[in-house]
Amino acid sequence: MRIADEFRRLWQGVRLFALISWFHGFKIAGNMIDRRGGVIEQRIARLMSRRILAVLDMHVTVEGQEHAKFIENYAVASNHLSYLDWVLILAEFPNSVSFIAKRAVTLMPVFGSYLRNRGVLIDRRKGQTARSVIRDAAVSSPWPLLIFPEGTRSPDGNLQPFRRAGIRILTDQGLKLLPIVLLGTYEGLSREARCIRKGQRLHMIILPPIDPKQIGAAAACDELERVINETYDARRAEFERKS
> How does pLDDT run across 151-165, given as a tens digit for each residue?
999 999 999 999 999
Residue 205 main-chain phi, psi, to 5 deg: -115, 120
| Crossing angle of helices 39-55 and 2-33, rounded to 10° | 160
The three-point CA angle 69-73-74 to 5° equals 70
Which CATH class name applies to 58-242? alpha beta
| pLDDT in single tens digits along all 243 residues of the chain | 566 666 666 666 666 666 566 555 555 555 555 555 557 777 888 888 898 899 889 999 999 999 999 999 999 999 999 999 999 999 999 999 999 887 777 676 656 666 766 677 877 666 567 788 888 888 888 889 999 999 999 999 999 999 999 999 999 999 999 999 999 999 999 988 878 888 999 999 999 999 999 999 999 999 999 999 999 999 998 887 776
Q: Order of strands, edge to edge, in the sheet holding 201-206?
A: 59-63, 201-206, 176-183, 74-78, 145-147, 98-102, 120-122
Taking the alpha carbons at both ends of the chain, their separation in whole angstroms is: 24
Identify whether the C-beta of residue 135 lies closer than 8 Å to the C-beta of residue 118. no
Task: Please choose, from the candidates 184, 227, 226, the residue with its C-alpha nearest in 3D space to the C-alpha of residue 204.
Answer: 184
- Helix, strand, coil percentages for the chain (3-state, nearest 5): 55, 15, 30
- Residue 138, helix vs strand vs coil: helix
Task: Please choose, from the candidates 223, 204, 197, 201, the residue with its C-alpha nearest in 3D space to the C-alpha of residue 212.
Answer: 223
- Residue 176, helix vs strand vs coil: strand
Residues present in the chain in total: 243
Element housing 186 (H / E)? helix 185-188
Q: Quote the DSSP letter at residue 156.
A: S
CB atoms within 10 A of CB 20: 17
pTM for this entry: 0.84
Helices within 34-100 (DSSP H only): 39-55, 84-92
Identify whether the C-beta of residue 77 lies closer than 8 Å to the C-beta of residue 179. yes
pLDDT at residue number 88: 97
Give the CB-side neighbour count of residue 68, counting CA atoms within 13 A: 21
Identify whether the C-beta of residue 202 lies closer than 8 Å to the C-beta of residue 188. yes
